[in-house]
Structure 1
């Protein structure tokens, strides 16, 4: 008879492989959209608008998506969302191959992707504790983060190479990866606690937000990450830095995007071998401070190798913060609230990533790409100082599992 522990490992590995295929598709997609729209418009603002178009649906749908994740089949939600994502990428592929792609089509597909991710992210995040159990949760989060960063390394690099044959070829490759993910996850052996469904009420919709606000460990960790990345994000400006500062082509852009993930994956391997352990609060704050310092170094760099090094250290520092934050959120939240709290967490992540891209694009259009990056790095260091003062409970947190000081 197969042991329950082995069954959990098998189910998680199937879930992990499916998620990695989807992440691989998305990372290739980002390289194609960024390079294509910058060449179509020659505008830094257009790079920001791509992020805004993906973010806007999540702004309006996140709370409802969390309620749906707590009251409906999370696996079905994930698969439907994945189907919408695949359809959106297919539109980009077809219009690119026909030569009819426009900036407006890209923005429209980004909106559809934003709708997909608004529902998918809280559902998939809330599934993990049910698949592996709390005893294996920290390792599962590390493996998930490690795999995601691996695809972030390989995806942009391969995406930059495939783009040599055109955007249509790149988007088609993304479609195939997304379809593979759906097939793998379709037969996932997943079970969750059965509970009566709650009606859609204002109280239910705001439940996750209230829970997050009242827990200084959860709110402090996700808001620290949100504002640090919102202010210090450089991702949307990489096409400008690659073409205009470092004078490279799509391959160089792929290398830059992969560099962040190389550092993150190396750190995740280290964390799998040597878990964070104690003093998790101070380690999280230090990692975010290093992220800000490396943002400044990237902004002043004029050579590819130094830019790559700065991005690698940024990725490693961010990985420490990601593992601590994601594990704390799941361990501090009861299962009946995980969909809604994961939706709040997803909203904060999307705000930092997509709105951060928009903010970077607007600021770069106003003051230039390099000054915008330097402002972001200095701002991130300021955020660390403020959050250390405002959230002493998080700063003093010793271990990932609950302790008296976290209450």
Structure 2
């Protein structure tokens, strides 16, 4: 009798638990590092604008290793045992969290170790991300892959909701408690990854490393709809991302403390998670390109509302809309990548997509930090939202094939090969993948 759920496979159960635990640990760590940097900067006598600059620098500290290493990491994921890539870097992240907890206990915490850990987290994400995204097709039958992708999304979104809430509450008790909890969760994730039995190694073929990396870039470059979708996400979030300013809003604008910061960080994930569930139940059927552009424009407008808000309820509502609207972009982009990418290319294509996501998020935080230092946090957020709306309009003009994309259809391999690099009237992705193939957002 055929299996009805990926959870019927022991390896997938271990993989899903590792994904959930590591996501909670990672989001806890990211939230607490941000607020810890801001608190240290403010206690040292810096102004709000000066402390905002250091929040932006945390974003660039995470992005630089991602920028340098992600494409190489995709090639590594297509050549080596993906389980061990994930295991090694989860272990590195566990040691980072434990080291921060020890520094708090020794009363030796400063900005330097927080930035060092931010860099190491960027390195870990660069290598673990493509490998983790490529494991599921190796541990479940092809007919269950859409269900596995849906469950992966649920694990990511659940972690993105729980992590900030738990991290903010724990930080209010003691910063060390959050770092200790993160280390324990990373240890759980590592233990679950060790339970996964051997899987086929990636196979990047006979290409040399540089050529193999270029092949991954070429795949994205030659598919105009894929290029348009990830470019839209890149520019909209790069200009409109407000995540870096959340510690400023929690402490000095909304006056809700670290517990409130956890709620603010979780609100976009709640919006994204509910939207993902709706998309899984009621997938987009027609005019997917137009709907994507409308939702990215809504992302920018909601960012402007959040920037002007002085009420916690309105700020949470705006962030909820930001997450929900952003999920549409993730939904379309991920749908173009999942299922119809050959296994030999999955690591590299995931790496290219991950690089665009990281550029939009981490560089967006850097942009927000610099703008906050120069103009103040409110202008940085509101102005960024307005620029995001303008970027959406520009992309709608620059990528007409994406704007005209109407529906999801299942292509044959020859059709994919023929259409790559041409303006395609339809988005060629299996319907189930379109509704389910997303790992979530972190805006």
User: TM-score, normalization: structure 2?
Assistant: 0.86
Measured in 2, the distance between the counterparts of 1:222 and 1:259 equals: 23
Judge which range, 183-192 or 358-367, deviates more. Answer: 183-192
Tell me the SS of whatever aligns to 1:239.
Answer: helix
1:279-307, CA deviations, whole angstroms, 9 ceiling, x for partnerless residues?
A: 32222222211111100111111111100
Q: CA deviation at 1:36?
A: 0.8
8 Å Cα contact 1:90/1:171 also seen in 2: yes
Query: Quick check: 1:253 aligned with 2:261?
Result: yes
Query: Quick check: 1:20 aligned with 2:27?
Result: no
Judge which range, 198-207 or 218-227, deviates more. Answer: 198-207
Judge which range, 182-191 or 32-41, deviates more. Answer: 182-191
Counterparts of 1:180-329 in structure 2 under 5 Å? 180-189=188-197, 191-192=199-200, 195=203, 198=206, 200-329=208-337
8 Å Cα contact 1:121/1:343 also seen in 2: yes
Q: CA deviation at 1:74?
A: 1.3
Tell me the SS of whatever aligns to 2:56.
Answer: helix
Runs of 5+ in structure 2 lacking a partner? Answer: 43-50, 416-423, 429-443
Query: Quick check: 1:355 aligned with 2:363?
Result: yes
Measured in 2, the distance between the counterparts of 1:281 and 1:402 equals: 17
8 Å Cα contact 2:82/2:201 also seen in 1: no
Query: Quick check: 1:171 aligned with 2:179?
Result: yes
1:75-102, CA deviations, whole angstroms, 9 ceiling, x for partnerless residues?
A: 1111112111111111111111111111
Counterparts of 1:368-407 in structure 2 under 5 Å? 368-402=376-410, 405=424
Measured in 2, the distance between the counterparts of 1:150 and 1:28 equals: 12
Judge which range, 316-325 or 248-257, deviates more. Answer: 316-325
Tell me the SS of whatever aligns to 2:114.
Answer: helix
Tell me the SS of whatever aligns to 1:397.
Answer: coil
Q: CA deviation at 1:7?
A: 5.7
8 Å Cα contact 1:296/1:374 also seen in 2: yes
Change in Cα spacing, 1:254 to 1:195, as seen in structure 2 (3 Å) is: closer
Judge which range, 388-397 or 220-229, deviates more. Answer: 388-397
Runs of 5+ in structure 1 lacking a partner? Answer: none
Match of 1:97 in 2: 105
Change in Cα spacing, 1:398 to 1:127, as seen in structure 2 (3 Å) is: farther
Match of 1:52 among 60, 65, 72: 60
User: TM-score, normalization: structure 1?
Assistant: 0.93
8 Å Cα contact 1:331/1:401 also seen in 2: no
Higher helix share: 1
Q: CA deviation at 1:196?
A: 7.0
Q: CA deviation at 1:45?
A: 1.0
Q: CA deviation at 1:5?
A: 5.4
1:197-255, CA deviations, whole angstroms, 9 ceiling, x for partnerless residues?
A: 54644222211111111111221111211111111111110010111111121111111
How many aligned positions are there? 406
Match of 1:342 in 2: 350
- Report the RMSD for the aligned CA atoms in angstroms: 2.1
